[in-house]
Amino acid sequence: MNDVLQLRKEIARLEVDLERLKRQLAHLQKACAHEFVETPLARTCAKCLQTESLYY
Ligand SMILES: [Zn+2]
pLDDT digits (tens, 9 = 90+) for 2-30: 899 999 999 999 999 999 999 999 999 99
Q: What value does the mean pLDDT of the chain take?
A: 94
How large is the average pLDDT for residues 29-51? 95
Ligand 1: distance of its center to the CA of 53 in Å? 14
Averaged over 17-44, what is the pLDDT?
A: 96
Instruction: Count how many domains the chain has.
Output: 1
Residue 5 C-beta-side C-alpha neighbours within 13 Å: 2
Q: Which helix (H) or strand (E) holds 51?
A: strand 51-53
CB 45 within 8 A of CB 34: yes
Compute the Cα dihedral for 26, 28, 32, 38 and give only its sign.
negative
Residue 56 has pLDDT above 70, yes or no: no
Distance from the alpha carbon of residue 13 to the mean position of ligand 1, in angstroms: 29
Q: How far is the CA of 49 from the centre of ligand 1 (A)?
A: 6
> Which pLDDT does position 29 carry in this prediction?
96
Supply the range of the domain harboring residue 27.
Answer: 2-53
Q: What is the mean pLDDT of residues 42-55?
A: 92
